[in-house]
A = this chain, B = another copy of it.
Amino acid sequence: MPRIADPRARIDLLRAAEAIFAENGLAAAKVEDITIRAGVSKGAFYLHFKSKQDCFRQIVEGVVARLAACVEAGRFDECAPPESIEALFESRIAHVVELLEFCWQNRGILGMILTGGGGTPYAYLVDAFAERIEQQSEMWLRRGVEVGLYRDDIEPAIVARLIAGTHERLVREIIKQPRRPDIEGWARQALDLLTRGLLSAASSAVVDRTVTKNRERDERPREPRSRAKAG
């Protein structure tokens, strides 16, 4: 069977397209710019993709699939029961950091999807995702209340929305940065703040110690002022 297809053509096209789409959005991106960057002709583009939209869809679906895998890995029932509150806290941090790390790596195209730039018809994916995170958060919350980790006078549905919102916010912040930010630091501060508002009194004393300890380890020493000591 004659004329072997250049095996790099498709990959080059996808890479070029991702860059161009990330820079201009779907509507403003020109097929010709993509093909020029990939070093192939316009016709070659249409050998690999049905249309410009089709190309964009393939890229987005790829990113979303990998992102979904990232999120799925942190589900409540995927984790072994933690030995302690500290361990729980650390495992949550690790999971969030992993997620944010992925987002940072793919910030170009993710930013385009999130900001909906250029008439992207995939904003619904973002919403579906937020929904998923929200449900996951709500499950965590209810479980946390059951075992006495969290205050039992919260409205899980509303607080779950806030938590999901904070996550989305972190993502938006991070992919906006021109330089790699201190992802773990940001995640810790966010989780810390959220957690302090949620923990039952008994739990919060323990976490106070943990967080203070971490802070002393991570930063230059400063006069510690724990909240629990004045209770």
Q: In A213-231, which residues have CB < 8 Å from any B CB?
A: 215, 222, 224-231
Report whether A201 and B189 are in contact in the complex, using a CB–CB cutoff of 8 Å: no
Query: What residues of chain A have their CB less than 8 Å away from a CB belonging to chain B?
Result: 25, 27-28, 115-119, 123, 127, 151-153, 155, 158-159, 161-162, 165-166, 168-170, 172-173, 176, 185-186, 189-190, 192-198, 200-202, 204, 212, 215, 222, 224-231
> Cα distance A196–B154 when bound, in Å?
12
A72 to B49, alpha carbons, bound, how many Å? 50
**Contact B117 A116, beta carbon cutoff 8 Å:** yes
In the complex, given contacts A117-B117, A151-B225, A192-B197, what are 4 additional A-B residue pairs having Cβ atoms less than 8 angstroms apart? A115-B115, A161-B173, A162-B166, A195-B197
Closest 5 CB pairs of A and B: A231-B231, A201-B230, A196-B197, A165-B169, A115-B116
Assembly CA distance A226 to B222 (angstroms): 31
Chain B minimum-CB-distance residue to A196: B197
Q: Which residue of B lies closest to A198 (CB)?
A: B193
